[in-house]
Amino acid sequence: MTALAAGCPSGLAPPESGGLAQDPSAFVTDAGGHKALDILVRGARCGGCLSKIETGMSKLPGVQAARLNLSTGKLRIEWVGPLAPRRIIETLVGLGYGAAAYDPGDADAAHLKEERSLLIALAVAGFAAGNVMLLSVSVWAGRDMPIETRTLLHWISALIAVPAAAWSGRPFFRSAIASIRARRLNMDVPISLAVILALSMSLFETARGGEHAYFDASVTLLFFLLIGRFLDARLRRRAYAAANALAAMNTATATRLSSGGIAEAVRAVDIRPGDSLLIAAGERLAVDAEVISGVSECDLRMVTGEVEPVATFPGQILHAGAVNLSAPVTVRAVAAADRSLMADVARMLEAGEQKKSSYRKIADKAAEAYVPRVHALALLGFVGWLVAGAALPHAVFIAVTVLIITCPCAMALAAPLVQVVAAGRLYREGAYLASGDALERIAAVDHVVFDKTGTLTLGDPVLLVGEVSDDAIERAAQLARASRHPFSRALARHAGVGLVARDVREYPGQGVCGMVDGRHARLGTAKFVGAPASAGSELWFAFEGAEPVAFRFEDRIRPDARLAIDQLRAMGISAEILSGDAEERVAHAAQVCSVSQWTSRATPQSKAARLEALQQAGHKVLMVGDGLNDAGALAGAHASIAPGGAVDVSRLASDCVFSGDSLEAVVRIVDISRKARSHMRQNFAFAAFYNVLAVPVALAGLATPMVAAIAMSGSSVVVTLNALRLAGRTGRARAVQP
Q: How much helix, strand and coil, in percent to the nearest 5, is found in the chain?
A: 50, 15, 30
Q: Sheet of 574-578: strands edge to edge?
A: 431-433, 656-658, 639-643, 621-624, 447-450, 574-578, 598-599
**Which CB atom, from 123 or from 346, has the smaller least distance to other proteins?**
123
Report in angstroms how near the CB of residue 146 gets to other proteins at its nearest. 8
Q: Could you give the angle at the alpha carbon of 679 between the alpha carbons of 674 and 685, nearest 5°?
A: 130
In Å, how far from its chain's centre is CA 626? Answer: 13
Report in angstroms how near the CB of residue 690 gets to other proteins at its nearest. 31
Report in angstroms how near the CB of residue 413 gets to other proteins at its nearest. 23
Residue 267: count other Cβ atoms within 10 Å of its Cβ: 17
Report in angstroms how near the CB of residue 9 gets to other proteins at its nearest. 12
**Which CB atom, from 46 or from 515, has the smaller least distance to other proteins?**
46
**Which CB atom, from 236 or from 585, has the smaller least distance to other proteins?**
236
Report the interhelical angle of 215-250 vs 170-181 (nearest 10°). Answer: 80
Contact 491, 463 (CB under 8 A): yes
Q: What are phi and psi of 446, to 5 degrees?
A: -130, 5
**Which CB atom, from 72 or from 250, has the smaller least distance to other proteins?**
72
Core vs surface per residue 517-530: b (16+ CB within 10 A) or e: eeeebbbbbbebbe
Is residue 451 among the annotated active site residues?
yes
Report in angstroms how near the CB of residue 4 gets to other proteins at its nearest. 14
**Which CB atom, from 66 or from 415, has the smaller least distance to other proteins?**
66
Question: In angstroms, rounded to a whole number, what is the distance separating the alpha carbons of residues 362 and 683?
Answer: 11
Q: 255 pairs with which residues across the strands? A: 265, 278
Q: Which amino acid is it at 607?
A: K
Q: How far is CA 633 from CA 628, 637, 642, 644, 727, in A?
A: 10, 6, 11, 17, 32
Q: 641 pairs with which residues across the strands? A: 624, 656
**Which CB atom, from 46 or from 718, has the smaller least distance to other proteins?**
46
Catalytic pick from 437, 451, 581, 626?
451
**Which CB atom, from 51 or from 596, has the smaller least distance to other proteins?**
51
Report in angstroms how near the CB of residue 265 gets to other proteins at its nearest. 29
Q: Could you give the angle at the alpha carbon of 559 between the alpha carbons of 584 and 728, nearest 5°?
A: 135
Q: Which amino acid is it at 403?
A: L
Report in angstroms how near the CB of residue 70 gets to other proteins at its nearest. 3
Point out which residues bind other proteins (CB under 8 A): 46-47, 50-51, 54-55, 58, 68-72, 116, 119-120, 123-124, 127, 130-131, 134-135, 146, 149, 152, 156, 160
Phi-psi region of 518 (alpha: psi -120 to 50; beta: other; left: phi over 0): left
Positions marked active-site: 451
